[in-house]
Amino acid sequence: MQATASRSLPEWTGRDDGPGAENVRWHHVVERWEGSTGPGACAFVGFRSDEGVRRNKGRQGAAEGPGALRGALASMALSAPLRAFDAGDVEVVGQDLEEGQRELGGRVTALLDAGQFPVVLGGGHEVAFGSYLGLAGSQRAQRGARIGVLNLDAHFDLRSDEVPSSGTPFRQMAEQERARGAYFDYAVLGISQPSNTAGLFATADSLGVRYLTDDRCGALDRPVVDGFLDDFLATCDLVHLTIDLDVLPAGVAPGVSAPAAFGVPVEIVEHACAKVAASGKLALCDVAELNPRLDVDGRTARTAARLVHRVVAERAPAG
């Protein structure tokens, strides 16, 4: 193949070492999504939103995350050519977060039903509820496939606030699942005890949430992590993987609203992503809380891009 960047996608530009499959990078293969009928390796969607973080009294700037993530991913080398699409951005205008989430959900549903693997680039963690709406509305979910949500995160994000925010998406999912008569299958890897009140732990317990705390996710704890993931994967048909970058140590991911004082080692987070991707059940992935304004040397963006790169490389088609 000729390794030349798409002129119609200025967001996807980067290093070019010449023609041929041996020199292919992400920016060479990403095409604009125009409703293609053939399945692709993935389809990127940006969610430009700070409104959920603002409502949650966090540090704003995550609306710039999708552009920074594309930029960090663009020059990463691929081991083999693949097909990938970019379906553009959903932007939250003013304070209308709910409309933005509905629009994202509609776009994700359309991609899923067209046989694509959506990778949603946030945005604050309010992106997760929009992603979930898309998966819940897909043909497979409507036909009864069981949805499981795996959150890599220092926080439960189960707040019961009257106004939805980046701290409420999984409580909102629980309410939606209850309304459609389904079990809310939610698991969190990387929970920080000091970052979650006793009330949030009680809410998690009342909803049957499975969680693994960050102090049980160290480099020597891989068998524990694998057991946790195996138990989760056994209970669902379609997995929504949501990666909140504040699950990582602050030194690796400084560019988030709430940097982690402890965090889960990046090799464990990447291992979890790869294991879920290879399961044959991964239907959707989103990445949340990248704040380029707070990033140092692009560390957070590059780490997030590496995780996305690994997920796509490892993903087995959902059965």
Question: What is the rounded distance in angstroms from the CA atom of residue 160 to the CA atom of residue 279?
Answer: 32
244 in a labelled binding site = yes
DSSP readout, 198-209?
A: HHHHHHHHHTT-
> What residue ranges in the chain does DSSP mark as E strands?
30-32, 42-48, 84-91, 118-122, 147-152, 185-191, 210-213, 238-244, 282-288
Report phi then psi at 242, rounded to 5. Answer: -120, 125
Is the bond preceding residue 123 a cis peptide, omega within 30 degrees?
A: yes
- In 10 A of CB 107, how many CB atoms? 23
Output the CA–CA distances (angstroms, integers) from residue 136 to 91, 105, 131, in the order listed. Answer: 21, 9, 9
Using CA atoms, how far apart are residues 42 and 312, in angstroms rounded to an integer?
A: 7
Would the annotation count 231 as a binding residue?
Answer: no
Residue 153 marked as a ligand binder: yes
User: Are residues 26 and 73 in contact, defined by beta-carbon separation less than 8 angstroms?
Assistant: yes
In three-state secondary structure terms, 156 is coil
- 299: exposed, middle or buried (Cβ count in 10 Å: 0-12, 13-18, 19+): middle
DSSP one-letter code for 27: H
| Residue length of the chain | 319
125 labeled part of a ligand binding site: yes
Binding-site residue positions for Mn(2+): 125, 153, 155, 157, 244, 246
What are the binding residues? 125, 153, 155, 157, 244, 246
